[in-house]
Amino acid sequence: MVQPLSSNQDQFQWQQAQRILEMLSTLSYRASGLDSYLKELVCGLSQLLSLDWSVVTCCWEDKEKIIASSLDLGAGEQIYSLHGTLTNTVFSTGKTLQVKDTNSQTKYGQPPEGYRSYLGVPLQTPGGKTFGTICSFCVQPRYFGEEELRTAQLFAERAAIAIDNYNLYQQQQDFNQALETEVAIRTKQLKETQAKLIEKEKLAAIGQFASMIVHEIRNPLTTMMMCFNALKQLQLEKRNLMRITLAREEGERLLELLKEILLYAKPPKLELETIEVAQFVEEVLWELRQMPMTSGREIRLICQAEKIKMRADKNKLKQIVINLVQNACEAITPGEVVTCRLTKERKPESICFSTHNQGSPIPEEMIPKLSEPFVSNKAGGTGLGLAIVKQIVYAHQGVLSIQSNAVEGTTISFTIPSTGSGSNG
């Protein structure tokens, strides 16, 4: 017995609905990624509706980008002009469009070459904003029935949800990354502030203790030095005279050490003035070249900061330059070169002065400790020179850097903001 036509139609629709549900249930953008999911989606739509070609497009202004296709389009981005196309009509109106025969129905725009029928469904955000389309094409003229339209709209809804969720996920990831970066920056700033506070408290404690100790030592030491000077004037045996001379030299060295201890213990107070940096450095290096400590060493200056001015404490800046150049000269033998470099940095606006020598490299484990008090890499050093340099640089809101290896030699540099907003302790 032949079943009524309506029963056959109901059976076909039920089977079609089952096929659609089965196909959609197998797709997951979480498992395969958004690109693969959208490709499977348009391939499934083409299979269900017997379409020749289906694509998912992302649209903006007058451009469209194909982000998934049931046909292989080759490598590279597929970006086209929306002007005069059927897709433009769907994107601009935000409504589903079907064209049975594009040869006779031309008012909606042109399809890709070789295709005669078109079905386009907009992709929309939950707020109703159209951001793309699912477009399907057939080589022959074709009319799409209500069930086929609903099927295409269902697939378009799934694609829109997947893309919207993916964009939300990316925004959340970007936000998380920005938050992590901000937390890292704030944590670093907090640690730096904490370190400076600890350093300041430590210096205050050292200052009080050092002032007391230096006072107790310097007074009797000065009396002893007066005695040594008086004894040196007497007619003594050569052996005794040598002993007095040695004692006097050691006393002078001890007085110099006490002076450096006081310098380190007392936070530097800056007296800022405007300095023409290149001229200032030239003058200091000229003075250094006349001193015995630099005898036989060549001191070169490479200047890349001509006629640049900055606010700084001139005397303390001179103390830094002398200390660094003296250290560099002591690290090499006569005939070798110390290269000084003066440059202007742009981000942030600052002046950088560095000394470079090819002497014996500083051991790697020593480099982080060299600017700490009473740590020295040279025989007879007090270990306070670089510690005082670091204090002065920090007071100018600057940075001290030490780099050393056997291949490139040793470079010690300091960078100070050229705006010169120094701290007065």
Residue 355 falls within a domain, yes or no? yes
Q: Is the pLDDT of residue 24 over 70?
A: no
Model confidence at 292, pLDDT cuts 50, 70, 90, reads confident
Model confidence at 25, pLDDT cuts 50, 70, 90, reads low
410 and 281 co-located in one domain: yes
Query: Which one is predicted more confidently, 65 or 209?
Result: 65
Q: What is the pLDDT of residues 254-272, one digit of tens each?
A: 887 777 777 776 767 888 9
The arithmetic mean of pLDDT across residues 370-389, rounded, is 74
Residue 88 falls within a domain, yes or no? yes
285 and 404 co-located in one domain: yes
CATH of the domain at 349: 3.30.565.10
Share of the chain above pLDDT 90, in %: 39
Residue 11 falls within a domain, yes or no? yes
The boundaries of the domain holding residue 66 are 5-174
Q: Is the pLDDT of residue 124 over 80?
A: yes
State the pLDDT at residue 1.
38
The arithmetic mean of pLDDT across residues 138-155, rounded, is 92
Residue 128 falls within a domain, yes or no? yes
**Boundary of a domain, candidates 174, 200, 234:** 174
18 and 165 co-located in one domain: yes
At residue 86, what is the residue type? L
DSSP 422: -
CA distance 78 to 65: 6
CATH of the domain at 79: 3.30.450.40
Residue 62 falls within a domain, yes or no? yes
State the pLDDT at residue 177.
93
At residue 157, what is the residue type? E
Strand 117-124 versus strand 409-417 pairing type: unpaired
Residue 341 falls within a domain, yes or no? yes
What six digits make up the tokens of 213? 């100790």
Q: What is the pLDDT of residues 41-73, one digit of tens each?
A: 899 899 889 999 999 999 988 899 999 999 998
Q: How many domains does the chain have?
A: 2
Q: What is the pLDDT of residues 310-349, one digit of tens each?
A: 899 998 899 899 989 998 998 899 999 999 999 988 877 8
160 and 308 co-located in one domain: no
**Boundary of a domain, candidates 126, 142, 174:** 174
Q: Is the pLDDT of residue 4 over 80?
A: no
Q: Three-class SS of residue 136? A: strand
Query: Which one is predicted more confidently, 150 or 384?
Result: 150
CA distance 247 to 227: 11
Range with the poorest average pLDDT among 8-22, 150-164, 252-266: 8-22
State the pLDDT at residue 380.
60
State the pLDDT at residue 261.
75
277 and 400 co-located in one domain: yes
Model confidence at 355, pLDDT cuts 50, 70, 90, reads very high
Residue 165 falls within a domain, yes or no? yes
Burial of 272 (0-12, 13-18, 19+ CB in 10 A): middle
The arithmetic mean of pLDDT across residues 377-388, rounded, is 72
**Boundary of a domain, candidates 174, 195, 221:** 174
Q: What is the pLDDT of residues 225-237, one digit of tens each?
A: 888 888 878 877 8
Task: Name the helix (H) or strand (E) containing 226.
Answer: helix 146-232
Query: Which one is predicted more confidently, 214 or 28?
Result: 214
Model confidence at 15, pLDDT cuts 50, 70, 90, reads low
Model confidence at 161, pLDDT cuts 50, 70, 90, reads confident
121 and 12 co-located in one domain: yes
What string of H, E and C letters represents the secondary structure of 295-311? CCCEEEEEEECCCCEEE
Query: Which one is predicted more confidently, 340 or 197?
Result: 340
CA distance 261 to 388: 9
Q: Residue 304: beta bridge partners?
A: 343
Q: Is the pLDDT of residue 6 over 80?
A: no
Model confidence at 5, pLDDT cuts 50, 70, 90, reads very low
Q: Is the pLDDT of residue 85 over 50?
A: yes
Residue 262 falls within a domain, yes or no? no
The mean of the pLDDT values for the chain is 84
